[in-house]
Chain A
Amino acid sequence: MADYQIPDDLLYTQEDEWVRHEGDAILIGVTDFAQSQLGDIVFVELPEVGASTEAGAPFGTIESVKAVSDLFAPLTGEVLEVNEALEEQPELVNEACYGDGWLIKLRATDGDEFDGLLDADAYRASVSDRDQ
């Protein structure tokens, strides 16, 4: 299996997103495995600030040269901020998926949903199962 970065201090989803606490808010992005599978990111479509997200439902799209993929919300909540740098520099998702390539900042409204997220070990196992 190739060496994918999977930081231990984050939570993850089966749809290859990561979740990080930032004070009262939640920061969300796609994982190193995701950006590697997608290839060169050329376009990211994010929701408006103030929009609602629903756990498991699409909240935007991420496009590589050849394909369009949905982004699935890990948690239900309200969008506080979106990463506007991605408009001019979508490649930040490839270059720094856990840092400058973050996607949205959310106010999560259902604390129970965190139980459904994967820790780093569980996500590592999920990637290992799927990585050919």
Chain B
Amino acid sequence: MTDELRRTALHATHQGLGARLVPFAGYEMPVQYSSIKEEHEAVRERAGLFDVSHMGQIQLRGKRALAAAEELVTCEVSTLAIGQARYGLLLDESGGCIDDVMLTRVGEDEVFFCVNASNVDAAHGWIREHAGASVKVENRSRSTSLLALQGPAARGILDGLCSADTPLPRRFRVANCEIAGLPVLASGTGYTGSPGYELYVENKDAVALWEALVEAGQPMGLRPAGLGARDTLRLEAALPLYGHELDRDTTPFEAGLDRFVKPLDRGFIGAAALSARADEPDPKRLVGFEMVGRGIARADYEILIEGEPVGHVTSGAPSPTLGKSIGLGYVPRSKSAAGQRLDVRIRTKDVEAVVVETPFLP
């Protein structure tokens, strides 16, 4: 017996656009409207509009909200200004990743975590369990819609719609803006590697905001874009996807996310385990690679070095911007330097690849 799939406030809009809808994290979501490549290119060259309302928002309020968040996440919280956002990881006691999150401070004693759609319940449960009784923890996911407007033309499109009294925030900042006459929490963040904004609105305003953006963006070549393009875009930017590059058996250091982890002596959940694991002889390390031989690497394909299996691919696809096939995967740290030759086992053939610096795009 399958549960019915949930729908975002924009479901009818997607249907009207002829989107191909697929199940994702319990929601029916658009994977593409016209073509993944076209939508991907639109974001890189002009702008794309994504419905990512399936993602979760967990809000913490109270005098101890910031202190609680500080203990839960790997990034620095005490130094977050009001209106500032930071990327970090929620770890369990073994140092493994429960989720990767964007933490935003929206008030003196108020923060919210933007969490992956597939992890909303797990993240909510974990945060509620560890935040302490005096902190109000609320799962705002179902009442919040989220649109992502990404690409070089995003700013120009929003400028035309944003009230002069409520200027748009800069990168990694948020602001309460009036956009197309609607109250929007605008965030200078994104998951594509192109500049842009994520726009939080009440469900009841989602369609109106979408339509206003589409109308204003039309002359600038704005296209609706689905989860297919979202994945190829973030892959080019070498951004991790939970369930692929990150999971409970992976530490932030193994995933190359060292710069999002504050000093281990701060005592956040998982810090002690990370310390203890510091002298592991040759832990796995996430690398980016390009295919040299003919073939496309995909998640779970084996990686070999000199005939020996040493790891596996976590994500892979043809890169529309680069015109070659790229991927992310785990290999022993001793074999993770740029220039290292690898083989990817693609069905019955071992196809040559090479480790490259990430992100893949300049």
Partners in one complex: yes
> Which residues of A are in contact with B by a Cβ distance under 8 Å?
39-40, 42-43, 61, 63, 65-66, 68, 87
Q: Which secondary structure dominates chain B's binding surface?
A: mixed
| A42 & B228 in contact (Cβ 8 Å cutoff) | no
Which of B107-115, B258-266, B269-277, B291-299 makes up part of the contact surface?
A: B291-299
Residue B37 at the chain A interface, CB threshold 8 Å: yes
Across-interface contacts of B295 in A (CB, < 8 A): 43
Residue B187 at the chain A interface, CB threshold 8 Å: no
Pick 12 A–B contacts, CB within 8 A, sort by A.
A39-B35, A39-B36, A39-B228, A40-B35, A43-B295, A43-B296, A43-B318, A63-B296, A65-B318, A66-B231, A68-B296, A68-B298
| A42 & B32 in contact (Cβ 8 Å cutoff) | no
- Whole-angstrom distance between the Cβ of B209 and the nearest chain A Cβ: 28
Nearest 4 interchain pairs by C-beta: A42-B318, A65-B36, A40-B37, A43-B296
- Distance, CA A84 to CA B12, complexed state (A): 43
Across-interface contacts of B37 in A (CB, < 8 A): 40, 65
- Distance, CA A85 to CA B347, complexed state (A): 23
Given A61-B347, A65-B317, A87 and B36 touching (CB < 8 A)? no
> Which residues of B are in contact with A by a Cβ distance under 8 Å?
31-32, 35-37, 228, 231-232, 294-296, 298, 317-318, 347
- Distance, CA A65 to CA B236, complexed state (A): 13
- Distance, CA A12 to CA B36, complexed state (A): 28
**A39-B36, A63-B296, A66-B228 given. 7 additional CB < 8 A pairs?**
A39-B32, A40-B36, A43-B295, A43-B296, A43-B318, A65-B228, A65-B317
- Distance, CA A65 to CA B294, complexed state (A): 15
Across-interface contacts of B294 in A (CB, < 8 A): 87
Which of B31, B231, B296, B347 contacts A42 (CB under 8 A)?
Answer: B296
**A67 and chain B: residue at smallest CB distance:** B298
- Distance, CA A108 to CA B40, complexed state (A): 42
- Whole-angstrom distance between the Cβ of A33 and the nearest chain B Cβ: 14
**A2 and chain B: residue at smallest CB distance:** B18
